[in-house]
Amino acid sequence: MTPPEETQLPPPDDELPPPPTDLAENAKSYGEIKTKKSGLSATMKRAFTIFEKDLSTMAKHGLISAVILFIFLATIFNIMSFAMSETMRFNIGESGDGGDGPGTLPNSNDHTSPIAIAGPSRSVTSGTMVVLDASASTDNEALIYYIWTFNENSREIELYGETVQYRFYAIGNYEVTLIVVDSSWNMNETHTSVTVTAASSDNQPPNANGGNEQSINAGSYLTLDGANSTDNVLVTNWTWIFRDYQNRLERALYGVNPTYRCENAGDLNFQLIVRDSAGNVGMGGTTVHVMPSGPNPTPPQARMNIDNQVSVGDEVQLDASESFDDQGAIRDYIWFVGHNSTVRTLNGETTSFIAEEQGMYEIFLAVRDNSGNVGVEENEVLVYPAGIDPDTISWTSTPFGTDVSFNLLTYVYGIALLSSVIFVGGLFAKGFTHEITKGTIKVLFFGPISVTTMIFSKILYPIFVAPIFIFPLMVISLTVFEQSLGDILMITLVSYLLTVVTMVAAAFGSCLLYVGAKRMVLKPSIVSRMFMYLSLLGTLTVFEWLAFVLDQWQQTTRWNAMYLDYSGIAVLSPFHQGGMLLSNAIIGTDWALDLWTFVIPLVLIVGGTLASKRLYSDMFSRE
């Protein structure tokens, strides 16, 4: 034994406490230790705390740039939307308010616009029949449409034809627009004016009185009362304008006490226009509340299934069989088919009409239940000239088709995704990169933070941050499409949900990538990169699955068809394409497609989960 070479004195007693007593003396009987085990609720609370911490960091460092980016995107999207709305307006053949783009009919080589000539401006006295003549208009081909539009007493009047007649009663100046369209759908417009003056020295307008509000049951006859309208000379005309069928279909009644059978429950707002013999006009109105006549309070849902593009001479099938009522009590199916100045009415769950002329047919379906509740849907049929097969026209030739609402959804989804990627992805990446490079993420793991909590906290970005930017951007972008605010919000909501699914998949993939990186190989492994990309593409599979399930449930093929027709990115789906290839290779058909779309991602998800479990545990293996 070697003795110590140098002896060290212990420190003085007053500096340190005495050594602890022997452990055996401390061997007491302590109470039982109850360990805590975090459940889902604790995980979520902790994830929200991390999210809150991240947000404040982002708000501090990224708010100004986010606002600038928001303004930039809002401007870009608004311009894009305006351009798109103009394109759609042209494509559906209703230039209406100034669409004069140089578009042409698909497969046409004629890009020469016609020249519209509406004739000279003129001044007439009230009650004069005015002839509007566009026969001087010219084109290198044939002109097929002449559309005259003007406003009379806040009501838009449309007249169709090369030469039309209209009797102007109301005094005022009318700006008349003429649009001419040639057989290749090149168009041009011009304006003329009609000034209507009083037929006598009487220039005092009459006083319109539409009577008191009324309430009646659906199916009853309504009698309106305009008898209390007065004039200094004589009231000579009573015109009642209102919109029936859930405020969608404009109707007009004439006379001092006209009657109308109110078939549809809902409010009818009548505008009464009275005119005296000199052409002076007065306006008034009244409201009629049409109550359901039976106990069924819920209106039915109108659903129509039609072919939106046909050729001249084709029979257009109208199918409302997918309409439904919660009590199965649809009584009437009413179709209004509008083309130029004619509107024909058809009845029945399924019916048809012959598309005799090329151009746009506006289809309006109303379904009514036993109580008079009514549901409506509108659509359009584009009729191509003979010689053009609609089935061969590519989507690029009419880039946004004719189904405006659906294509808006597609368009908005794209915007939502883009803005999400820029905003959320940018912020997300910024925060995550910061944590990784600075190593601060390790701070959290010394607390009771699991990798799951960490991933969940990052997924909260797209869920909660995205709408802050996306909703205003969408509303700004969609206002030019002249949709109702309700429709805009609904479209935006659906797009937001789709975007969130995509972004969550991206966030999940990024987190897996991070976990792979922390495995402490020098670079992220190929496997972890693959997880990220596949989880992004896996989003498509979610849609595909959803379409499949909906079709199974509703016994249709429409959802899958919609997915394939409108989801251009479906071609990127390895599950779809892979499924097709495998099915074709193995059994010669693609009938097993849906099976593959389930099996392939399932294998990937299970494999990914198992693999990532291994990765998680080794996150801190290296100093």
Partner 1 sequence: MIEANGLVKDYRTIRALDSVSLKVGRGEIFGFFGPNGAGKTTCIRVLCGLTQASGGDAKVLDIDVCKNPVWVRDNIAVLSEETRFYEEMTPRRYLNMFGKFMLVKKSERLARINSIADLADLRGFIDQKIASLSQGQRQRVSLARVLMADAPLLFLDEPFEGIDIIHRKKLREHFRDYVSRGNTIFFTSHNLIEAEHIVDRFAFIHQGKLIACGTAQELKDKYLAPSYLLHVSDPQKAKEALDRGLRLQNIKVIEGQVMLTLQKRADAASISKILVQENVDLFEMRTTGTMEEVFERTARGDVC
Q: Does 8 bind partner 1 (CB under 8 A)?
A: yes
445 counts as binding partner 1 under rule CB under 8 A: yes
- Whether the CB-CB separation of 229 and 209 falls below 8 Å is answered with yes
What SS3 string covers 73-137?
Answer: HHHHHHHHHHHHHHHHHHHCCCCCCCCCCCCCCCCCCCCCCCECCCCCCEEEECCEEEEEECCCC
Stretch that binds partner 1, among 6-14, 112-120, 167-175, 280-288 (CB under 8 A): 6-14
Of the candidates 422, 409, 423, 421, the one whose C-alpha atom is nearest the C-alpha of residue 492 is 409
- Cα dihedral sign for 552, 553, 555, 556? negative
Does the CA dihedral 247-249-250-256 come out positive or negative?
negative
Please state the closest distance from residue 621 (CB atom) to partner 1, in A.
Answer: 5
Buried b / exposed e over 205-218, threshold 16 CB at 10 Å, is bbebbbbeebebeb
Which strand ranges, in their side-by-side order, compose the sheet holding 143-152?
122-125, 187-197, 172-182, 143-152, 155-160
User: Min. distance of Cβ 382 from partner 1 in angstroms?
Assistant: 59
Choose one: 288-296, 342-350, 413-421, 447-455; the region binding partner 1 (CB under 8 A).
447-455
Indicate the angle between helix axes 40-91 and 451-460, nearest 10 degrees: 30
Complex with partner 1: residue 406 or 445, whichever CB lies closer: 445
- Select the residue interacting with partner 1 from 16, 64, 129, 522 (CB under 8 A): 16
Nearer to partner 1, 391 or 623 (CB): 623
Can you read off the two tokens belonging to residue 26? Answer: 């401390």
Q: For residues 18 and 588, which CB has a smaller minimum distance to partner 1 in the complex?
A: 18
Cα–Cα separations (whole angstroms), residue 336 to 272, 331, 364, 377, 572? 25, 17, 5, 11, 41
Compare residues 441 and 504 and give the one whose CB is closer to partner 1: 441
Give the whole-angstrom CA distance, residue 186 versus residue 140. 11
Which one of 5-13, 118-126, 336-344, 478-486 is the stretch in contact with partner 1 (CB under 8 A)? 5-13
Q: What's the one-letter identity of residue 464? A: F
Measure the CA–CA gap between 224 and 135, rounded to whole angstroms: 42
Query: CB of residue 16 vs partner 1: minimum separation in angstroms?
Result: 4
Of 12, 23, 40, 391, which one interacts with partner 1 (CB under 8 A)? 23
In the complex, minimum distance from the CB of residue 406 to partner 1, in angstroms, rounded to a whole number: 45
* Torsion angles phi and psi, residue 142, rounded to 5: -90, 145
Query: Residue from 72, 395, 533, 620 that binds partner 1 (CB under 8 A)?
Result: 620
List CB contacts of 258: < 8 A, sequence separation 6 or more: 223, 224, 238, 240
Tell me the number of residues near partner 1 by CB under 8 A. 52
Considering the complex, state which of residue 1 and residue 129 has its C-beta at the smaller distance from partner 1.
1
Q: Interface with partner 1 includes 623 (CB under 8 A)?
A: yes
Bridge partners (DSSP) of residue 240 are 253, 272
Q: Which is nearer to partner 1, 53 or 261 (CB)?
A: 53
Question: In the complex with partner 1, which residue's Cβ is closer, 111 or 613?
Answer: 613
387 binds partner 1 (CB under 8 A): no
Q: For the segment 27-66, give every residue that binds partner 1 (CB under 8 A).
A: 27-28, 30-31, 33, 35-38, 42, 45-46, 49, 53, 57, 60
The residues near 470 (Cβ < 8 Å, ≥ 6 apart) are 416, 419, 420, 423, 492, 495, 496, 499
Closer residue to partner 1 in complex, CB, 59/234: 59
Residue in this structure with the two tokens 């309070």, named with its chain if needed: 297
- By beta-carbon proximity to partner 1, the closer residue of 84 and 615 is 615
By CB under 8 A, is residue 2 in contact with partner 1? yes
Site for partner 1 in 414-443 (CB under 8 A): 438-440, 442-443
188/177 Cα distance (integer angstroms):
11
What is the separation of C-alpha 460 from the centre of its chain, rounded to a whole number of angstroms?
24
Toward partner 1, which CB reaches closer, 20 or 120?
A: 20
Closest approach of Cβ 532 to partner 1, in Å?
24
Contact positions toward partner 1, by CB under 8 A?
1-4, 7-11, 16-20, 22-23, 26-28, 30-31, 33, 35-38, 42, 45-46, 49, 53, 57, 60, 438-440, 442-450, 617-623
